[in-house]
């Protein structure tokens, strides 16, 4: 094997290039090197700059729009005070979690921390929200229209069909469309806020900030606050969307963390402003309570939209049961946030993460390679004989990315993020009201528990023997393949 002689020349191989060569290359070349360090080859086009991915993240999160859609969640359990005070608490607490995710996104751009189940549930939530908003517009303009649940489900399918069209047929226009949607997102907020505040009667400060409700019939007001708090948390689910577009983003180690942080800041501020505006313009609270194209993964896009289409069928049978889907998306995402945040906290407290570019201290030094002698080492067939061969890969040394929170402040933020995730998971499984019946039961705990049991059983029944990792792409040419 002559891989060492090849890499020492810095001929352009992903791991063979020297650090000086990588540092002096363009963003696109450095991005390709970053993927190669993770054992992945560049497949998709990098079409997104910071502005377009910022627009993408903002519109995925869509906090002020979601706050209107989920307004009654916290309003029924807690009342105006739960929204006025609970929303900023949820905002700042979620911001702490996303700061940790931004740090990890700057270190590694492979989003293993997000389970597929939670992603599909979030897609279902978004499509049904959009479909029912369209249904609401129809009700406003045609008073004789009689809404049906299956109408909302069909409109949600239409929304998903539009998403498939945009991501496949006109995928090249997606970055420009994201910038346009960001503009609509901001201008729409301004337009609705001005009209709402100017034309509606205003409630008193006492009614907005100190009026509490307990429509869930909980034994005390404190329990009602905690159950309704999840409605505020749900408006911040999905701010990590930029991570899943990392391969299509220029300079992702910097732009992805920036997009996450700025998205939460912008959406949180607009969301809180919209919530306060609605609370001040509600009027009589009692009356409100009474009437409550190329290199595009086309096949993957179509497949991952089929399950949200099927989940939308739940809404036809019961809108209450569909609320459990929303609850599962919150629990699934925050469970997936808790695991990496916990591991990050352990690593940073024990000093197992090296400073950014620590391995660049020696000019001309090459990235180290090693051969894994463990019997469970990764094996992959070669093109020549289709047999098993050992694969050389880079030593997986954790190193901070260009974006991080340093020192004690980072540890405190990381600790708070973990505690908040546990808090959200605990209250997310509670039913919305008492007494608990088959109709108002929160079945998300059953589904989430079943998924966890299945995953653990799958691991012990064969997964721990069959799994080989880390998974790498064969065509990352710096991997020297051979029996010895």
How far, in Å, CA of 321 to CA of 116, rounded?
21
Residue 19 predicted with pLDDT over 50:
no
How far, in Å, CA of 63 to CA of 271, rounded?
5
Q: What is the dihedral of CA 12, 17, 22, 23, to 10 degrees?
A: -140
Residue 379 predicted with pLDDT over 50:
no
Q: 10 Å Cβ neighbour count for 259?
A: 30
How far, in Å, CA of 215 to CA of 232, rounded?
17
Residue 483 predicted with pLDDT over 90:
no
User: Is 386 among the domain residues?
Assistant: no
| Tokens (6 digits) for 58 | 């903002």
Pairwise pLDDT comparison (127 vs 42), residue with the higher score: 127
Q: What is the pLDDT of residue 270?
A: 94
**Tens digits of per-residue pLDDT, 399-422?**
788 888 888 999 999 999 999 999
User: Is 29 among the domain residues?
Assistant: no
Pairwise pLDDT comparison (27 vs 419), residue with the higher score: 419
Categorize the per-residue pLDDT at 14 as very low, low, confident or very high, splitting at 50, 70 and 90.
Answer: very low
User: Is 468 among the domain residues?
Assistant: no
Q: What is the pLDDT of residue 9?
A: 36
Structural domain containing residue 275: 38-353+398-442
**Tens digits of per-residue pLDDT, 360-372?**
554 444 444 433 4
Residue 479 predicted with pLDDT over 50:
no
User: Is 128 among the domain residues?
Assistant: yes
**Tens digits of per-residue pLDDT, 257-276?**
899 999 999 999 999 999 99
Counting residues of the chain whose pLDDT is more than 70, the rounded percentage is: 66
Q: How far is CA 104 from CA 48, 99, 101, 215, 412, in A?
A: 20, 9, 5, 40, 16
Q: What is the pLDDT of residue 484?
A: 39
| Cis status of the peptide bond prior to 459, with omega within 30 of 0 | no
User: Is 256 among the domain residues?
Assistant: yes
Q: What is the pLDDT of residue 480?
A: 36
What would the DSSP string read from start to end of 352-406? Answer: -SBPTTGGGSSTTPBPPEE---STT--EEE-TTT--EEEE-EE----B--S----
Q: What is the pLDDT of residue 283?
A: 67
How far, in Å, CA of 187 to CA of 193, rounded?
10
Per-residue pLDDT, averaged over 328-343, amounts to: 84
Whether the model pTM is above 0.75: no
Among residues 436, 442, 331, 410, which one has the least CA distance to residue 100? 410
**Tens digits of per-residue pLDDT, 428-464?**
888 888 888 877 788 788 877 887 888 788 878 877 7
Categorize the per-residue pLDDT at 396 as very low, low, confident or very high, splitting at 50, 70 and 90.
Answer: low
Q: What is the pLDDT of residue 42?
A: 62
Helices (H) and strands (E) in the chain, counts: 20, 5
The average confidence (pLDDT) of the chain is 74
**Tens digits of per-residue pLDDT, 51-88?**
888 888 888 888 998 888 788 888 888 999 999 999 99
The structural domain count of the chain equals 1
User: Is 369 among the domain residues?
Assistant: no
User: Is 141 among the domain residues?
Assistant: yes
Residue 157 predicted with pLDDT over 70:
yes
Q: What is the pLDDT of residue 461?
A: 86
Categorize the per-residue pLDDT at 10 as very low, low, confident or very high, splitting at 50, 70 and 90.
Answer: very low
β-sheet bridge partners, residue 18: 366
Residue 25 predicted with pLDDT over 70:
no
**CATH code for the domain in which residue 273 is found:** 1.20.1740.10
| Residue 481, H or E segment | strand 481-482
Phi-psi region of 62 (alpha: psi -120 to 50; beta: other; left: phi over 0): left
**Tens digits of per-residue pLDDT, 88-140?**
999 999 999 999 988 887 766 554 434 555 666 667 777 877 888 888 888 88
User: Is 370 among the domain residues?
Assistant: no
Burial class (CB in 10 A: 0-12, 13-18, 19+), 407: exposed
Instruction: Give the N- to C-terminal CA distance of the chain in Å, as an integer.
Output: 8
How far, in Å, CA of 94 to CA of 102, rounded?
12
How far, in Å, CA of 239 to CA of 263, rounded?
7
Identify which of 238-252, 272-286, 379-393 has the greatest average pLDDT: 272-286
Pairwise pLDDT comparison (250 vs 302), residue with the higher score: 250
Q: What is the CA radius of gyration of the chain?
A: 25
> Which residues have a Cβ under 8 Å from the Cβ of 160 and sit 6 or more positions away?
123, 127, 305, 308, 309
How far, in Å, CA of 137 to CA of 183, rounded?
21
Pairwise pLDDT comparison (193 vs 46), residue with the higher score: 193
Largest CA distance in the chain: 80
Q: What is the pLDDT of residue 472?
A: 54
Residues 459, 98, 417, 278, CA torsion sign: negative
């Amino acid at each position: 094997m002559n891989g060492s002689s090849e890499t020492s020349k810095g001929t352009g191989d992903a791991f063979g290039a020297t650090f000086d060569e990588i540092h002096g290359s363009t963003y696109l070349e450095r991005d390709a090197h970053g993927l190669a360090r993770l054992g992945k080859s560049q497949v998709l086009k990098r079409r997104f700059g910071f502005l377009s991915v910022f627009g993408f993240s903002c519109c995925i999160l869509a906090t002020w729009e979601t706050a209107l859609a989920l307004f009654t969640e916290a309003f029924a359990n807690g009342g105006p005070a739960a929204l006025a005070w609970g929303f900023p608490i949820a905002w700042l607490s979620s911001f702490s979690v996303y700061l940790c995710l931004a740090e990890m996104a700057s270190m590694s751009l492979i989003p293993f921390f997000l389970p597929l189940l939670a992603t599909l549930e979030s897609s279902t939530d978004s499509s049904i929200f959009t479909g029912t908003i369209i249904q609401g517009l129809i009700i406003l303009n045609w008073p004789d229209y009689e809404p049906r649940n299956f109408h909302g489900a069909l409109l949600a399918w239409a929304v998903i069909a539009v998403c498939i069209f945009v991501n496949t047929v006109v995928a090249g226009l997606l970055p420009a469309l994201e910038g346009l949607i960001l503009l609509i997102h901001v201008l729409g907020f301004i337009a609705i806020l001005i009209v709402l505040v100017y034309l509606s009667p205003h409630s008193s400060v006492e009614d907005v900030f100190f009026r509490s409700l307990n429509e869930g019939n909980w034994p005390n007001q404190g329990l009602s606050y905690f159950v309704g708090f999840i409605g505020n948390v749900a408006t911040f689910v999905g701010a990590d969307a930029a991570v899943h577009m990392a391969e299509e983003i220029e300079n992702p180690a910097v732009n992805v963390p920036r997009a996450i942080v700025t998205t939460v800041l912008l959406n949180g501020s607009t969301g809180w402003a919209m919530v306060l505006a609605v609370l001040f313009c509600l009027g009589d609270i009692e009356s409100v309570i009474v009437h409550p194209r190329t290199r595009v993964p086309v096949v993957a896009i179509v497949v991952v939209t089929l399950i949200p289409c099927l989940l939308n069928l739940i809404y036809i049978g019961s809108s209450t049961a569909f609320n459990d889907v929303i609850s599962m998306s919150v629990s699934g995402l925050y469970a997936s946030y808790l695991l990496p945040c916990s591991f990050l906290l352990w690593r940073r407290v024990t000093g197992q993460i090296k400073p950014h570019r620590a391995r660049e201290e020696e000019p001309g030094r090459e990235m180290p390679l090693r051969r894994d002698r463990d019997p469970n080492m990764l094996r992959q067939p070669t093109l020549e004989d289709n047999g098993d061969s050992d694969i050389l890969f880079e030593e997986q040394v954790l190193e901070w990315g260009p974006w991080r929170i340093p020192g004690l402040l980072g540890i405190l933020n990381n600790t708070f993020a973990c505690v908040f995730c546990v808090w959200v998971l605990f209250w997310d499984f509670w039913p919305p009201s008492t007494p608990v019946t088959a109709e108002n039961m929160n079945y998300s705990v059953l589904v989430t528990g079943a998924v966890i049991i299945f995953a653990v059983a799958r691991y012990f029944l064969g997964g721990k023997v069959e799994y080989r990792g880390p998974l790498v792409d064969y065509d990352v040419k710096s991997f020297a393949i051979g029996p010895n």
